[in-house]
Amino acid sequence: MRHAMWMGLLALASMAAHAQSSSAVEPYEEYGKHLRAAQEVTPLTSNMFGDQVSLYNGATEFDVTDIDLPGNSSLPVRFARRLEVDDRRQPTGNLGGLGEWDIEVPYIDGVFAAENGWEVQNNAGQGGVYSRCSVVTPPYTVIASLNNIQEPASQIWDGNQLHIPGETSEELLQNTETKLPDNRTTYPWITKSFYHATCASSTANGYPGESFIVVSPSGVRYTFNWVVVNPDSVLQYQAPAPSGTGTINADANRSRIFMLATEVDDRFGNWVKYTYNSANQLTAITANDGREIDIAWSGGLVQSATAGTRTWTYGYTAGGSLSSVTRPDGSQWTYAIVSGSLKTTKNPDNDKNPPSYHCQIDALPNTGSFVYAIGAPSGAQGTFSFTYQRSIRTNVPQDCTDANPDTMYPNVYDFFDNFALVSKQITGAGLTTQNWGYNYGNNGGVGYVTATVPFPFPTETYIPQSASCCEPPKVVTVASPGDITKYSFGINYGVDEGRLLQTETDSLSGQVVKTVTNTYLADSQIASQAFPDNVGLSAQPIYKNPLVGRIRPVVTTTTVQDGDTYTRQTNAFDVFAQATDVVRSNNIAGQASIEEQTSYLNDTSLWVLGLPQ
């Protein structure tokens, strides 16, 4: 009966064969989602307003914790919220609950063809299409309502993503590497930061098929088994007609499907539970030590959150945007859209050719701007300005003529687009106005190179043949009230994309004050290491980002300041790429080098990793 109910709901969101292009997105518009793991640098974070900025491309989110209850264990009992500054020209399928803001809970999510839901490419002999955890494979994308056209999974789906608030957001990878001391049969999934996942046979709210249990590298166990299905953007995709002549518009309705956490347990028996109502709304967070937060709703919006005798109240504009958060002491957060919106404008197509010719030209970027004002409870006011920008990648394999029959659009693009923070201003009573400016220095480069992505799946990844192919890094400049900082990021596909190579700090007059240069482990050195080449392999049929699971730690950090040079050299790593032999030195006369040797307790039975011994 439950199966029939869920399939009935999915049938309401079947393929839209005649959707207008203005109401759909094309594959290139979402390519940035496939590259989230390319950002190998910790975001620049401001505690005052909760802004977190990836300086690689300016992608920004705001993370605010309204309620945080201390207890007898380290498991958090928090009511928190997040605003991702992303394109909302089409539905994004976000959790929502607070206008543009999302309630923060741990989850696993992915985007799937709405007609099929979270089904995988599998047969009944292996557990069927609902064996989404135990069988690592792309989703099922054959669309019955369009004469069984198969939409490429690489366009519909960008992998299954793990999100743990305050800890990680990363792709679940196939647990393949024999060098790692892990039970790959029991834990078929792993992430680059060593969260691994096992399977449960059912969900908690009737969605058919398996659910996930994830264990963090500190031994904390997350049960993901409450399923929420939200409408996502329609994917505009031209495909060959079943007759073999001409093409058809196979515009695909999609769903973003979440598996929300219902319980979090540590290895000492402590737990935190998340409770949802029949509308899939979070109503309570409770812990075994008595901590509790209760959430009240009106329609689809949170009205209040209560902890004991204290209540936080949420206010909204007539259009449903979050406008205020009133705290128990009467102080407030305030929010206002000053100008623009998160809905970009799509420019006319730059490519009118039918498949298989879409590969030959880059689409025009969308345009958009967004200015957001935040008032903090302290009285400070922050104004954040964003523009929709294109970031360039280089040495990308152009796979338009390879063996893959689905190559009617590029499997790998030489660009991606997103809202980027361009300025920030902070004002307030008694404060001198402070301004920040951001320039992302998108250089050109060779873009595509003649190469092919290996086919068929499963594949390893295309790797450029030599370092001589590679373009210099892009330089991101941040002008702050006190100095100017220049960050150099690699932009070469499969080599150094997203890696922070150098940080230079200058005075406001332009004098170099300090430089920090990072050198990463070379590909040629990986065979001699205790750790594997990759933590795991992407389940995506074509590698959107070859570095998503690759382990290349920093081996040398060189700091130059006031005429002196300081070097940190790592000479050895263990199986989890933890530094075990580090030498610190400098060029100051009379100062000897210092060597530090460290061993780590990695308890793989409890999955507690990285405890220094």
Dump pLDDT digits (tens) for 502-515. Answer: 999 999 999 999 99
- Model pLDDT for residues 342-369, shown as the tens digit of each residue: 999 988 765 555 444 455 567 788 999 9
Q: Which helix (H) or strand (E) holds 226?
A: strand 221-231
What is the pLDDT, as a whole number, of residue 581? 98
Res 2 pLDDT > 50: no
Query: Domain range holding 90?
Result: 2-552
HSE-CB of 586 using CA atoms within 13 angstroms: 12
Distance CA(160)–CA(210), nearest Å, equals 14
Mean pLDDT value of segment 285-308: 98
Whether residue 605 is contained in a domain is answered as no
- The percent of the chain in helix, strand and coil, each rounded to the nearest 5, is 10, 45, 50
Mean pLDDT value of segment 531-555: 88
What is the pLDDT, as a whole number, of residue 45? 57
- Model pLDDT for residues 413-425, shown as the tens digit of each residue: 888 999 999 999 9
What is the pLDDT, as a whole number, of residue 121? 85
Do residues 92 and 232 touch, judged by C-beta distance below 8 A?
yes
Question: What is the token pair recorded at 101?
Answer: 């803001």
Confidence of residue 302 (pLDDT cuts 50, 70, 90): very high
Confidence of residue 15 (pLDDT cuts 50, 70, 90): very low
Res 44 pLDDT > 70: no
What are the two backbone dihedrals, phi and then psi, of residue 103, each rounded to the nearest 5 degrees?
Answer: -65, 135
Mean pLDDT value of segment 255-275: 98
* Percentage of residues in the chain having pLDDT higher than 70: 82
Res 445 pLDDT > 90: no
Whether residue 192 is contained in a domain is answered as yes
Whether residue 394 is contained in a domain is answered as yes
Mean pLDDT value of segment 286-290: 99
Among the listed residues 448, 598, 453, the one whose alpha carbon sits nearest the alpha carbon of residue 538? 453
Mean pLDDT value of segment 98-109: 98
Confidence of residue 274 (pLDDT cuts 50, 70, 90): very high
97, 103, 105, 110 alpha-carbon torsion, rounded to 10° = 60
Confidence of residue 26 (pLDDT cuts 50, 70, 90): confident
Confidence of residue 540 (pLDDT cuts 50, 70, 90): confident
3-state SS class at 119: coil
Question: What is the token pair recorded at 56?
Answer: 């690689």
Mean pLDDT value of segment 212-233: 98
Res 397 pLDDT > 80: no
What are the two backbone dihedrals, phi and then psi, of residue 159, each rounded to the nearest 5 degrees?
Answer: 90, 170
Do residues 234 and 96 touch, judged by C-beta distance below 8 A?
no
Mean pLDDT value of segment 326-343: 98
**In sequence order, what are the residues at sequence separation of 6 or more whose Cβ sits closer than 8 angstroms to the Cβ of residue 344?**
87, 89, 366, 367, 368, 388
Do residues 554 and 566 touch, judged by C-beta distance below 8 A?
no
- Model pLDDT for residues 165-218, shown as the tens digit of each residue: 999 999 999 999 999 988 888 999 999 999 999 999 999 999 999 999 999 999
Amino acid in the structure at residue 517: T
What is the pLDDT, as a whole number, of residue 141? 87
Whether residue 604 is contained in a domain is answered as no
Whether residue 522 is contained in a domain is answered as yes
Res 310 pLDDT > 90: yes
Whether residue 521 is contained in a domain is answered as yes
Question: What domain count does the chain have?
Answer: 1
Amino acid in the structure at residue 50: G
Mean pLDDT value of segment 540-562: 89
Do residues 110 and 157 touch, judged by C-beta distance below 8 A?
yes
What are the two backbone dihedrals, phi and then psi, of residue 82, each rounded to the nearest 5 degrees?
Answer: -140, 135
Confidence of residue 246 (pLDDT cuts 50, 70, 90): low
Among the listed residues 505, 472, 503, the one whose alpha carbon sits nearest the alpha carbon of residue 490? 472
Res 83 pLDDT > 90: yes
Whether residue 393 is contained in a domain is answered as yes
Mean pLDDT value of segment 530-545: 86
What is the pLDDT, as a whole number, of residue 34? 59
Distance CA(602)–CA(613), nearest Å, equals 10
Q: Which residue has the higher pLDDT, 325 or 541?
A: 325
Instruction: Quote the DSSP letter at residue 377.
Output: T
User: Do the bridges between strand 537-538 and strand 554-561 make them parallel or antiparallel, or are there none, so unpaired?
Assistant: unpaired
**In sequence order, what are the residues at sequence separation of 6 or more whose Cβ sits closer than 8 angstroms to the Cβ of residue 609?**
194, 217, 218, 576, 600, 602, 603
Q: Which helix (H) or strand (E) holds 580?
A: strand 579-586
Which range is most confident: 19-33, 131-145, 464-478, 548-562?
548-562
Distance CA(299)–CA(195), nearest Å, equals 35
Res 446 pLDDT > 80: no
What is the pLDDT, as a whole number, of residue 14? 36
User: Do the bridges between strand 292-298 and strand 282-287 make them parallel or antiparallel, or are there none, so unpaired?
Assistant: antiparallel
Sheet strands (E) in 376-462: 381-392, 396-398, 415-427, 434-439, 448-450
What is the pLDDT, as a whole number, of residue 454? 52
Instruction: Write the secondary structure of 444-487 as one string of H (helix), E (strand) and C (coil).
Output: CCCCEEECCCCCCCCCCCCCCCCHHHCCCCEEEEEECCCCEEEE
User: Among 99-103, 113-117, 579-583, which is the least confidently predicted range?
Assistant: 113-117
What is the pLDDT, as a whole number, of residue 464? 46
Res 33 pLDDT > 90: no
Peptide bond into 458 cis (omega under 30): yes
What is the pLDDT, as a whole number, of residue 16? 36
Question: What is the token pair recorded at 216?
Answer: 């963090």
Among the listed residues 254, 218, 192, 213, the one whose alpha carbon sits nearest the alpha carbon of residue 108? 213
Tell me the pLDDT of the chain averaged across its residues: 87
Do residues 428 and 379 touch, judged by C-beta distance below 8 A?
yes
Instruction: Quote the DSSP letter at residue 556.
Output: E
Whether residue 558 is contained in a domain is answered as no
User: Among 176-180, 250-254, 552-556, which is the least confidently predicted range?
Assistant: 250-254
